[in-house]
Amino acid sequence: MSAQREMKEKNPWHTPVTIITVIGVIAIVALVTVAVLQNRPVLQKYKYGIVLDAGSSHTALYIYEWPAEKDNNTGRAEQKYVCKVKGKGISSYANTPVKAGESLNECMQEAKMQVPTKRHHETPLYLGATAGMRLLNMENSSASDKVFQAVEKALQRFPFSYQGARILSGQEEGAFGWVTVNYLDDRLKQGLETTGALDLGGASTQISFVSKNYDISESPSNSVTFRLYGNDYNLYTHSFLCYGKDQVLRMALAHQTKSGPGTILDPCFHPGYLELKDYSLLYDSPCVSDRKPQNATGTFNHSGAGNFKQCQEVVKKVFNFTSCKYSRCSFNGVFQPPLQGPFGAFSAYYYVMDFLKLTDATMPLKDVKEKLANYCATPWNEIVKQHPEVPIKYLAEYCFSGTYIITLLTDGYNFTSESYSNINFIKKIKNSDAGWTLGYMLNLTNMIPAEAPDSPPLPHAGYVTIITISALILFVLFILSLRFICPSFQKTPHIV
Ligand SMILES: Nc1nc2c(ncn2[C@@H]2O[C@H](COP(=O)(O)OP(=O)(O)OP(=O)(O)O)[C@@H](O)[C@H]2O)c(=O)[nH]1
């Protein structure tokens, strides 16, 4: 008996205090482990959405993805993939509609590869057509219907959840572009001041911004109201049909060739530029058809003079500044409230200003104009030599397009030397292209809630840290309390 007692007292692991301590440590480790594992994000699986942007100049297919487990709208949808459809926009297939459908096949096959097979059937697929189809629909609605039928047939052959093809209104195009920019910048979720959106396409251009001084009643047709993440927005938006850069070029050329076939010396093209152009092709658009002169049948010589100031005068002629029935207007009698920045300018605003190296927001407007004037004055053969990699069609038009952009922003929208510096020329935000497509999909899939979603009081890392620190404090308190409750804990065991 005394030998047993001796053994027990010799071995400190057998004291009740030690046993309690070990159990305490195990309990604490278990608690922290459960906290870490329980609150750890589960392995992310993604959902997908596909939007085809059927623009006037070309079609692009965008695939978006977002974390599947965050269906309560806390995960951000991002662009996963973009495919540029070869050839022109679907409106160019008015006489051969079946080809409009066929043109989409290659990118749709790519989409099949990009989206995991098990997600195909639940992936929504949308096609939105913009100004090219708006114009075709105005000009020849049955041709526009046939193009849509062909496109629908082609898209329905794919295993996605086809949600329809339609023409977006200019207002939708402007508003969804604004949603995209502000969603990607996290401005909507955080309720921050929003960024205005400037979108320049081939056939239309959009301006959208929130202005404190915007009285909706003055021009209700320019207003779009949203409630997003618990905040109300009263957005001003306007889309100018025919004021995309390709249609404005037609209007400017039509203006210069109005006296009939012959040769025109165009200040918006480089000195030494000379092309024989088809007069009737120029007028093949509702934006210019009413300006067609009686004798416009043959060809004309389009030659360049390369003069920025004169080019601005030509471009200004496409705007009408004479009538405004509102307190203030941009152009063509369209109401526009006072500009409120910052602004993101994308699509052709970016392509053109990026090529001209004029995207630096710190560059004063007068320097931008000076650089553009020098660029326009550069002889055409030098321009071609300097940029052998750029397609001739794009290269020939940068002087015109740059001049149009500056004229549209300053004379059209009333940006001043000061407010011009609020414009950022952007292509992408966090790897997603700026444009209407993402905003359109977010709206149709109800991915932006009207009210702010409930969020956990602490982020995951904060939760684990607090649990660990609390457990350690409890443990230390427990050890200290043992010294008072059980004084023998302090003593070394006696060997009897
Ligand atoms: N320089 C250059 N121009 C481009 C490029 N991609 C498109 N463009 C031109 O930029 C203009 C606008 O293109 P998009 O934004 O695709 O416009 P869109 O959707 O065809 O036109 P809308 O239907 O009016 O919206 C068109 O004149 C195109 O020809 C590019 O990579 N480089």
CA of 132 to the centre of ligand 1 (A): 11
pLDDT digits (tens, 9 = 90+) for 299-310: 999 999 999 999
Mean pLDDT value of segment 346-364: 97
Tell me, yes or no, if the pTM score tops 0.95. no
Higher pLDDT, 279 or 138: 138
Mean pLDDT value of segment 361-370: 97
> At 432, which helix (H) or strand (E)?
strand 432-433
Looking at residue 390, its pLDDT comes to 98
pLDDT of 2 strictly over 60: no
Ligand 1 atom nearest 173 alpha carbon: 25
- Give the chain's radius of gyration (CA, Å): 32
CA distance 353 to 424: 10
CA of 1 to the centre of ligand 1 (A): 97
Say if residue 204 carries a ligand binding annotation. yes
ipTM of model = 0.99
Ligand 1 atom nearest 134 alpha carbon: 23
Looking at residue 7, its pLDDT comes to 46
Domains, the chain, in order of start with CATH, read: 2-38+457-490 (no CATH), 245-425 (3.30.420.150)
On whether the CB atoms of residues 438 and 346 are closer than 8 A, the answer is no
Structure tokens of 8?
Answer: 């027990």
On whether the CB atoms of residues 453 and 228 are closer than 8 A, the answer is no
Looking at residue 187, its pLDDT comes to 97
Higher pLDDT, 182 or 31: 182
Report the candidate in 490, 334, 345 with the shortest Cα–Cα distance to residue 423: 345
Say if residue 206 carries a ligand binding annotation. yes
The answer for residues whose C-beta is within 8 angstroms of residue 314's C-beta and 6 or more apart is 252, 255, 256, 266, 267, 268
Q: Give ligand 1 pocket residues (Cβ under 6 A).
A: 55-58, 89, 130-132, 201-204, 244-246, 347-348, 351, 355, 394
Is residue 350 very low, low, confident or very high in pLDDT (cuts 50, 70, 90)?
A: very high
pLDDT of 496 strictly over 50: no
Mean pLDDT of the chain: 90
On whether the CB atoms of residues 438 and 180 are closer than 8 A, the answer is yes
On whether the CB atoms of residues 86 and 103 are closer than 8 A, the answer is yes
CA distance 321 to 420: 20
Ligand 1, atom 2, lies closest to the CA of 351
